[in-house]
Amino acid sequence: MLVDMNGKDLICTQEISVKEIKAILKLASEMKSDRYGEKYNSLLKDKTFLMFFYNPSLRTRISFEAAATELGGHAQFLEPAAMRLRKTKGGIEVQAGETIEDVAKVLDRYGCGIGIRILETAVENYGEGDALLREFAKYMKIPIINMADDKYHPCQGLADVMGMREHKGNLNGKTILMTWAHGSLARSYCSVHENLLITSRLGMNVRLAYPKGYDLPEEEIAKVKANCEVNDRKFEIYHNPDEAYTKEVEFVYSRNWFGPDFYEIGKQSEIERASKMTNWICTEERMKRTNEGLFTHPMPVDRGKEVTDEVASGPRSIIIDIAENRLHIQKAIMAMIIAGLKVEI
């Protein structure tokens, strides 16, 4: 079957088909094995990919710039704080009389695609970052790629499962433990949501562990549950970290995320609250209870809080492989939705 994603937006993996997910993963693997080959190195020749960064980045910016270069194109870094875009109480607006419609339509004439990164600290309320991407998409003909908003991070989710498949093969029927961890960063939901959504789409059992009071948004959990039901897989919730690590688990994703009242209490209050729950950390002792479980994380890792150094730098950690895969996944996405490359699956 030939998969064609030409011109599509990618805001959340839940909004594309499983066949499209598998096509991206297949192409990314091929690109990884022939990284500098001639087959793909001119797909974006003389084209410019625009990048809006409302929040700073290490992996996202560099991996997208490298991806565009390796496809023969150019990635243009744009920082809204230095432009006519500003944060307001009601969300994101445009100064000097310019509407998002006007900005979107102008940028549509300049680039071949646009990536937008806007996390929870750049908006006043949950969901406003995601809404901004969709507002731009409404007025743009060129494809939009979500480089992480306050709800979703599709490129990270795809990189996660690419790395997991590289190490343990077909993920169908395997189990992932997504566990909350204490930390000093008050992290957003986006990477956690994407991992839960895409792993459940690909037929994995999902085990979610967190202290009471750290429930994830109900609408996203409902999607994960529905995915598991469609695939006849388990969805389980634990409130005790020790009970969650068992022989059924093949992957452990230990990450801090903020509580539902984050936007009311603020970042510092959230950090102070989370830092007291030191028992919620991934350790070697806990990893030994799993089925030769592998440790995964989107990075940056809050070492000593989310996970011990022994685990994060140990032989069962696949975090660097997954970080590398961001580059290959993004090349595959850009090749398919911007260059129009079709993939046989």
Return the pLDDT at 292: 97
Examine domains 2-153+326-344 and 154-322 and report if their fold is the same: yes
Can you give the C-alpha Rg of the chain in angstroms? 20
Return the pLDDT at 152: 98
Q: The tokens of 144 are what?
A: 């939009």
Return the pLDDT at 83: 57
Which sequence spans correspond to the domains of the chain? 2-153+326-344, 154-322
| Count of CB atoms situated within 10 Å of the CB of 4 | 14
Give the right CATH number for 2-153+326-344 from 3.90.1170.50, 2.20.25.10, 3.40.50.1370, 3.40.50.300.
Answer: 3.40.50.1370
Question: Rounded CA gap, 93 and 79, in Å?
Answer: 15
Return the pLDDT at 79: 83
Give the right CATH number for 154-322 from 3.20.20.70, 3.40.50.261, 1.20.1250.20, 3.40.50.1370.
Answer: 3.40.50.1370
pLDDT tens, per residue, the chain with 345 residues = 999 999 999 999 999 999 999 999 999 999 999 999 999 999 999 999 999 999 988 899 999 999 999 999 999 998 876 655 544 444 455 455 568 888 899 999 999 999 999 999 999 999 999 999 999 999 999 999 999 999 999 999 999 999 999 999 999 999 999 999 999 999 999 999 999 999 999 999 999 999 999 999 999 999 999 999 999 999 999 999 999 999 999 999 999 999 999 999 999 999 999 999 999 999 999 999 999 999 999 999 999 999 999 999 999 999 999 999 999 999 999 999 999 999 999
Return the pLDDT at 90: 47
Q: Are 147 and 155 in contact (CB under 8 A)?
A: yes
Give the chain as a 3 state SS string: CEECCCCCCECCHHHCCHHHHHHHHHHHHHHHHCCCCCCCCCCCCCCEEEEEECCCCCHHHHHHHHHHHHCCCEEEEECHHHCCEEEECCEEEECCCCCHHHHHHHHHHHCCEEEEEECHHHCCCCCHHHHHHHHHHHHCCCCEEEEEECCCCHHHHHHHHHHHHHHHCCCCCCEEEEEECCCCCCCCCHHHHHHHHHHHHCCCEEEEECCCCCCCCHHHHHHHHHHHHHCCCCEEEECCHHHHCCCCCCEEEEECCCCCCHHHHCHHHHHHHHCCCCCCCECHHHHCCCCCCEEECCCCCCECCCECHHHHCCCCECHHHHHHHHHHHHHHHHHHHCCCCCEEC
121: left (phi over 0), alpha (psi -120 to 50) or beta: alpha
* Phi, psi of 192, deg, nearest 5: -65, -50
The residue among 329, 324, 336 whose CA lies nearest residue 25 is 329
Q: Which residues contact 71 (CB under 8 A, 6 or more apart)?
A: 40, 41, 42, 43, 44, 331, 334, 335, 339
Burial class (CB in 10 A: 0-12, 13-18, 19+), 89: exposed
